[in-house]
Chains A and B, each alone.
Chain A
């Protein structure tokens, strides 16, 4: 097992400690000791003129307060390893748990990284000062989170490879309003996910099998304030949340994000077992918190207590298992299995969309503070 920097008091010492380690500096040894994970973020472009045209003057007062808070950077000193970062027994960890936990860390790192790339691109290409400033601050937080997760991965002997830059990368396209919906929702659900685990582990500290969970509260407070900024952006143009078409988009986004989370979490049974968390309870709990928060700006919430909600999510999950099995099997019969699974998943998704929503009267001022 690689030695790690957990005994260091400051980030500088942690860096020095890690740099001094032969397995990390000697190329040959690195190849043996570290398995390489290529980060594969996506690259985005959008309609920058439309984004530059945003006018935050209708929410100016709240906007300035929020940006002021983000600039003050209360979490600056937080992402450092201190005495709370206890030793991790990677070698003693169940292989199945280790694999799922590492998958969790890598996908978290990739998501932070992708957010960072997107925000930085917006910052660079935009010319509206309010907007570029926001994106700059968010890129800062995401890069910081990614660095922190990266360090946890290094301890586990996983080297993140940033070599994707010299590979061909295709730029995909996001309409600005989709950036608002998607990032707003991903930041808020991220908050709900992290805080739910954090609170659960506060009550059950013996289940905390890795120290990174102790950092989840401040981490998710960053996510929360990013979400707040997007809530204000959504407020600058009432059409974004009030037109009939956009209401349909919001419902679509909520359904897609919730159901993906459900399916994905069920793919990590060992991870949840080790935390002592039932993924079904966890899913519903996260949906409940997210719904409560999104009432600040979305005109509806999904009816997650509807009799068809959980059974349909379960059907979707089963369909996903079938798709994975078909892919593994290969050949014509594998292909047939996969296609049948995809059809079932698609059908389940449409069925979720037909569940009536619960209407919500949006308050005049959206601002919230993290309360869970």
Chain B
């Protein structure tokens, strides 16, 4: 890991989207056991995955992991805790905060 440099790597992943009445959820699992560290960015490749209402979709894709530089990782570790308000139902939406 570079002090200032970001490095990229790819990993096979499984994307699961449930767009059903009884469950609304979306998850990405990295299938090669790659570990995500603070500040890393993950992007699933390919077109947008859309599940119609009532559907549950599972797709194999490739994810690009952009590793945070050491500096970024330390910064995220130090400041990430303050984003906890997101978990509250009355948290600020993006439009209000941005």
- Residues of A participating in the B interface, judged by any CB pair closer than 8 Å: 11, 14-16, 18-19, 24-25, 40-45, 79, 103, 106-118, 120, 124, 139, 143-144, 146-151, 154, 160, 162-175, 178, 181-183, 186, 189-190, 193, 253, 256-257, 260-261, 264-265, 267, 324
Give the distance to chain B from A170, nearest Cβ to Cβ, in Å: 5
Distance (whole angstroms) from the CB of B57 to the closest CB of chain A: 10
What are 18 A-B residue pairs whose CB atoms fall within 8 Å in the complex? A25-B52, A112-B24, A120-B27, A149-B24, A151-B21, A163-B49, A166-B44, A168-B42, A169-B42, A169-B43, A172-B38, A172-B80, A173-B76, A173-B77, A178-B84, A182-B87, A186-B87, A265-B90
A172-B43 contact in complex given A19-B54, A45-B38, A162-B17, C-beta closer than 8 Å? no
B26 near A162: Cβ-Cβ < 8 Å:
yes
- The answer for the CA separation of A11 and B20 in the assembled complex, in Å, is 9
In the assembled complex, the CB of A291 is this many whole angstroms from the nearest CB of chain B, namely 16
Residue of A whose beta carbon sits closest to that of B73: A173
Q: How far is the CA of A287 from the CA of B18 in the complex (A)?
A: 35
Q: Tell me whether A118 and B87 are in contact in the complex, defined as CB-CB below 8 angstroms, given that A124-B29, A168-B42, A171-B40 are known contacts.
A: yes
- Contact bitstring B56-94, A, C-beta under 8 A = 1, else 0: 000000000010000000001100110111111111111
Given A144-B23, A151-B21, A160-B24, CB of A169 within 8 Å of CB of B41: yes
Nearest-neighbour CB distance to chain A for B4, whole angstroms, equals 17
The reply to whether A165 and B15 form a contact with Cβ atoms under 8 Å apart is: yes
Are the C-beta atoms of A146 and B91 separated by less than 8 Å? no
B contact residues, total (Cβ < 8 Å): 51
A15 to B20, CA, bound (A): 8
Residues of B within 8 A of A44 (CB): 80
Q: Which of B5-26 contact A (CB under 8 A)?
A: 15, 17-26
A174 touches B24 (CB 8 A): no
> In the complex, are the beta carbons of B17 and A260 less than 8 A apart?
no
The closest CB in chain B to the CB of A81 belongs to B21
Contacts of A170 in B (CB 8 A): 39-41
- Is the CB–CB distance between A11 and B90 below 8 Å? no
- Interface residues of chain B, those whose CB is within 8 Å of chain A, are 15, 17-29, 36-54, 66, 76-77, 80-81, 83-94, 96
The 6 residue pairs across chains A and B that have the minimum distance between CB atoms? A173-B80, A173-B38, A182-B84, A146-B24, A172-B80, A143-B25
Cross-chain contact B41 with A162 (CB below 8 angstroms): no
Residues of A contacting B15 in the complex (Cβ-Cβ under 8 angstroms)? 165
Instruction: Select from chain A the residue with minimum beta-carbon distance to B57.
Output: A162
Residue of B nearest to A111 (CB): B89
Asked if B89 and A162 make an inter-chain contact with CB atoms under 8 angstroms apart, the answer reads no
